Structures are given as structure tokens and as C-alpha cells.
Amino acid sequence: MDGTRFQVLAARTRRPTAHVHPGQLSTSHLATHSVPLEEAPRAYEMFKTKEDGCVRAVLRPGG
């Protein structure tokens, strides 16, 4: 990736994420399930089969 494309990509991602850190933009609605990292295989299976309405699972490191 050349420098110009990288700068454009960085500028596009910097603006939205700038609002996430201070808590101005909630992302909680993006995940239907939140599971410990140790349960990643189970979470993938739930996502794959749409079990319990799983559309997007978030893996939490450290439990």
C-alpha cells in the first residue's frame, strides 16, 4: 500500500474511532453475544448456526 492510500485509510478510521474512546458513540448494539475468549469455538458455532439469534459475537480476553 502506498503512502497516499494509507493516509486516506488512516484519516477515515481515525474520525469514527475518536468518538468511541470518550464514550460518545455506543457500540454495544453491534454484538448479540459476548463470551470469554476461551469459548471462541463455541461462539463461532453459535454464529455459524445462528443459534440463540447469534448474529455477531464479541470475544472477551481474560474472561
Q: How far is Cα 34 from Cα 43, in angstroms, rounded to an integer?
A: 9
Q: Are residues 16 and 36 in the same domain?
A: no
Q: Are residues 21 and 36 in the same domain?
A: no
pLDDT in tens, 11-55: 666 666 666 666 676 777 888 999 999 999 999 999 999 999 999
* Cell numbers standing for residue 56: 455477531
Q: Based on the structure, what is the number of domains in the chain?
A: 2
Sign of CA dihedral 7, 10, 12, 14: negative
Residue 13 structural domain: 1-25
Q: Are residues 37 and 12 in the same domain?
A: no
- pTM, full prediction: 0.53
